[in-house]
């Protein structure tokens, strides 16, 4: 019976809500929220309904309807904001934050005035409870309405009043925690950060530097009866949690002293000011965070991870963290156990990004401009930090990889937010820069992760363009260095075709980028070449998806890109179906043009390009139509003989193989080919090949060519 009576009113309430107007629904929801004593589920439900009404109110007012915010008075606003109190459960605070955001959008200036009045009134009352609520509200709304909150934060006399509050003899952990969380949020705003630096830095340092043992010893010295006063020890000293939060705020303040990629000032330089920014303290704070995470990860992980996410911007901190295997393993465990889409997960990923991130590659022009800026800025004294060069970053990447990060990234990526997935891709992109780690990355699931990320990130969102290209480039690097069958072969669920579209995505340079970066194009071509070596189905898919771009890259004005494109074509034409469709059907003008380009590339200055073109022609000259087209071309035989005369034996081998295919052709086409080559001195060239070649297979092929040219076979 009890269950029936409990369910009945809920059903009735829902019906009432549906029958009432928008204003009455709003007042009824506030009545429920003001009652108190509700279960969290009921409170969350009411806050959710109120949030929806407020979100819908914006559209309703555009249609001429009266806004429901007119019935929301100061008491109602007080009710919503009190649910942001840190003593509420996280789920209630989360829904209250959404509701507050919706109210401020719907109410406009009136909402801002009520919020300001609430904050200033609570601070003026000055009780511990009022401080806690006011500070919690400020911390929550800083990201929602930063301009309004910063104005409240910078109210005359407010920040100076925090010092006496935090230095009171009898400590309130909740007041101190709420205050520091507010300061932590305020550091996102430049003016607020400067004010915190001015008014709060001294007592923040006192909190961080507090020696617990000395505090207790002092208490016993001044008051021998302290032992009988319950709770006095904890109430007279700052808690460990408060110290940790203060350290996070202090880290954010001190990180502004120097740019992250600049070396610290040389203190022995007489031109430097005698009073330097407190750079060493950031390293000290990072050591504190590191020990917190290792010794007490259950209670200190959030503060230590947030602090290190900022501190690890510094190169010296990066080196210290990467050089501590115990810390790296502890951070990996923290990441593995972090709730999905949580600040803890994002913070841990941010630390790994900082440890593994390479400097952006600069063009020659950008390097010159950077050098000029360095000389112009403080007479060239601010130089790029050597601890951030590629050698140091590569060493850090290796240590991070050895800590077992990759399997954890694969696991958490399945439920990650877009923001976290972006960081995961950045980490894998950095790890893939080291060739020796590419095979293990593939074995641990990085290929599937990158393919899935590229596929699942919405391509119509401009914010995802760079992330998707980064994922594709990391995938390309890995696939260059491994046997594709080890990842895609056998009973594995990921087919090889799923890797092709991400690779094709970066074949052409990014047209929206300020500078043209050809490295993704080159790596994509190399990876596709590796895939095209597997089977005809893969070659067919590559041609269907990417042939237009590949053909364009054959004539690119960069020799390395051209070479990579020809090498891909060389593997594609190993498929009889694709060779015939693209090149051998010389009745089509497109096939004739492609064949002319390929023959011309066999005479390129670059040896690798000539080799790749020679390999493709070795496969294509098995078709009579191709033999005829090359023989009829004015310089065709001359180019093939040029390969035969090359000092490089691999090139010579390919040239002789092509020559044998052509002179061994039957009928009129073979006769034409032999006549054309004889007229170009092929016999003398083949005799020279026999004389100077050290490899037996080349000599045997040349002898067969001589016999056919001289009519002895």
Average pLDDT over residues 501-511: 89
Q: How many whole angstroms separate alpha carbon 94 and alpha carbon 496?
A: 43
Higher pLDDT, 80 or 278: 80
Distance of alpha carbon 711 from alpha carbon 225, whole angstroms:
119
Q: CB–CB of 254/281 below 8 Å?
A: yes
Q: Transcribe 241-304 into DSSP letters.
A: HHHHHHHHHHHHHHGGGS-TTBPPP-TT-TTS-SS---HHHHHHHHHHHHHHHHH-HHHHHHHH
Residue 556 has φ and ψ, to the nearest 5°, of: -70, 155
List C-alpha distances in Å: 72 to 28, 54, 79, 136.
11, 11, 10, 21
Contact 248, 306 (CB under 8 A): yes
d(CA 322, CA 611): 44
The pLDDT assigned to 55 comes to 93
Give the three-state DSSP class for 64: coil
Segment 635-646, tens digit of pLDDT: 899 999 999 988
Residue carrying structure tokens 């005479």: 603
Residues 6+ positions from 9 with CB-CB distance below 8 Å: none
pLDDT digits (tens, 9 = 90+) for 637-679: 999 999 998 888 899 999 999 999 998 888 898 899 998 988 8
Q: Which two tokens mark 13?
A: 């309430």
pLDDT band at 298 (very low <50, low <70, confident <90, very high): confident
Position 13 pLDDT exceeds 70 = no
Which residues sit opposite 384 in a β-bridge?
262
Question: Quick one: pLDDT at residue 472?
Answer: 95
- Residue 225: CB atoms within 10 A of its CB come to 8
Token code pair at residue 394 = 């590569």
Band of the pLDDT at 297, cuts 50, 70, 90?
confident
CB 303, CB 292: distance < 8 Å: yes
Q: Give the residue from 17, 5, 85 showing the smallest Cα distance to 46.
A: 17
The pLDDT score that the predictor gives to residue 377 is 57
Distance CA 28, CA 19 (A): 12
Q: Would you say 348 and 334 are in contact if contact means Cβ atoms under 8 Å apart? A: yes
Q: Taking 70 as the threshold, does the pLDDT of residue 695 lie above it?
A: yes
Which parts of 575-648 fold into alpha helices (H)?
576-579, 589-601, 607-620, 624-632, 636-644
pLDDT at residue 69 above 50? yes
Q: What is the DSSP string of 502-534?
A: HHHHTSSPPTTSSS---HHHHHHHHHHHHHHTT
How far is Cα 635 from Cα 631, in angstroms, rounded to an integer? Answer: 8
Q: Answer for the pair 318, 354: CB distance below 8 angstroms, yes or no.
A: yes
Report how far residue 642's alpha carbon sits from residue 640's, in angstroms, rounded to the nearest whole number.
5
Residue 361 banded pLDDT, cuts 50, 70, 90: confident
Distance between CA atoms of 27 and 9, rounded to whole angstroms? 18
pLDDT higher than threshold 50 for residue 11: no
Nearest to 281 by CA among 256, 309, 306: 256
Q: Rounded to an integer, what distance in angstroms lies between the CA atom of residue 38 and that of residue 25?
A: 18
Position 446 pLDDT exceeds 90: yes
3-class SS string, 405-457: HHHHHHHHHHHCCHHHHHHHHHHHHHHCCCHHHHHHHHHCCHHHHHHHHHHHC
């Amino acid at each position: 019976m009890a269950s029936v009576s409990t369910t009945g009113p809920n059903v009735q309430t829902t019906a009432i809500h549906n029958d009432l107007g928008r204003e009455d629904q709003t007042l009824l929801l506030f009545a429920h929220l003001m009652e108190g004593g509700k279960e969290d589920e009921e409170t969350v439900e009411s806050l959710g309904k109120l949030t929806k009404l407020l979100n819908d109110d914006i559209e309703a007012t555009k249609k001429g309807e009266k806004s429901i915010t007119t019935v929301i008075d100061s008491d109602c606003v007080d009710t919503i904001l009190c649910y942001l109190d840190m003593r509420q459960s996280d789920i209630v605070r989360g829904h209250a934050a959404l509701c507050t955001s919706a109210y401020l959008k719907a109410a406009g200036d009136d909402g801002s005035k009520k919020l300001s009045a609430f904050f200033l009134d609570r601070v003026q009352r000055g009780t511990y409870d009022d401080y806690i609520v006011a500070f919690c509200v400020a911390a929550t709304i800083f990201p929602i309405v930063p301009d309004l909150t910063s104005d409240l934060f910078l109210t005359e006399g407010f920040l100076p009043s925090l010092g006496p509050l935090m230095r009171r003899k009898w400590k309130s952990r909740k007041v101190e925690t709420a205050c520091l969380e507010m300061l932590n949020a305020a550091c996102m705003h430049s003016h607020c950060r400067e004010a915190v630096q001015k008014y709060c830095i001294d007592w923040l340092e006192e909190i961080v530097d507090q020696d617990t043992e000395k505090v207790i010893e002092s208490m016993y010295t001044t008051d021998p009866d302290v032992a009988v006063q319950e709770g006095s020890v904890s109430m007279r000293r700052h808690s460990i949690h408060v110290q940790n939060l203060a350290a996070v705020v202090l880290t954010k303040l001190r990180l502004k002293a120097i740019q992250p990629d600049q070396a610290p000032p040389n203190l022995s330089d007489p031109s430097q000011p005698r009073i330097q920014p407190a750079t060493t303290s950031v390293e000290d704070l990072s050591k504190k965070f590191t020990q917190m995470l290792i010794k007490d990860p259950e209670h200190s992980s959030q503060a230590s991870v947030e602090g290190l996410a900022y501190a690890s911007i510094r190169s010296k901190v990066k080196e210290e963290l990467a050089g501590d295997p115990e810390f790296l393993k502890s951070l990996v465990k923290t990441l593995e156990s972090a709730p999905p889409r949580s600040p803890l997960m994002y913070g841990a990923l941010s630390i790994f990004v900082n440890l593994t991130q390479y400097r952006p590659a600069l063009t020659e022009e950008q390097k010159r401009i950077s050098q000029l800026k360095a000389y112009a800025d403080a007479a060239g004294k601010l130089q790029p930090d050597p601890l951030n060069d590629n050698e140091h970053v590569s060493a850090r990447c290796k240590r991070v990889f050895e800590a077992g990060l990759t399997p954890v990234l694969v696991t958490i990526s399945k439920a990650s937010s877009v923001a976290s997935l972006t960081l995961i891709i950045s980490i894998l992109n950095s790890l893939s820069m080291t060739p020796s780690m590419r095979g293990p990355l593939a074995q641990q699931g990085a290929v599937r992760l990158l393919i899935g990320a590229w596929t699942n990130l919405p391509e119509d969102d401009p914010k995802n363009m760079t992330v998707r290209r980064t994922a594709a480039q990391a995938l390309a690097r890995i696939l260059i260095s491994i046997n594709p069958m080890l990842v895609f072969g056998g009973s594995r669920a990921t087919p090889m075709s799923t890797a092709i579209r991400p690779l094709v995505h970066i074949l052409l340079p990014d047209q929206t980028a300020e500078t043209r970066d050809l490295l993704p194009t080159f790596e994509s071509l190399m990876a596709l070449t590796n895939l095209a070596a597997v089977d005809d189905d893969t070659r067919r898919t590559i041609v269907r998806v990417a042939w237009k771009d590949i053909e364009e890259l054959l004539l690119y004005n960069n020799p390395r890109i051209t070479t990579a494109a020809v090498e891909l074509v060389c593997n594609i034409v190993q498929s009889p179906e694709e060779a015939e469709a693209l090149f051998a059907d010389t009745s089509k003008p497109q096939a004739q043009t492609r064949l002319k380009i390929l023959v011309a590339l066999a005479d390129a200055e670059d040896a690798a390009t000539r080799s790749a073109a020679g390999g493709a022609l070795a496969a294509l000259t098995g078709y009579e139509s191709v033999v005829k087209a090359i023989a009829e071309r004015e310089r065709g035989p001359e180019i093939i003989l040029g390969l035969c005369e090359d000092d490089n034996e691999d090139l010579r081998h390919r040239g002789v193989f092509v020559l044998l295919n052509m002179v061994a052709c039957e009928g009129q086409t073979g006769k034409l080919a032999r006549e054309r080559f004889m007229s170009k001195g092929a016999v003398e060239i083949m005799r020279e090949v026999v004389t100077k070649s050290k490899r037996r297979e080349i000599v045997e092929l040349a002898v067969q060519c001589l016999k056919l040219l001289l009519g002895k076979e």
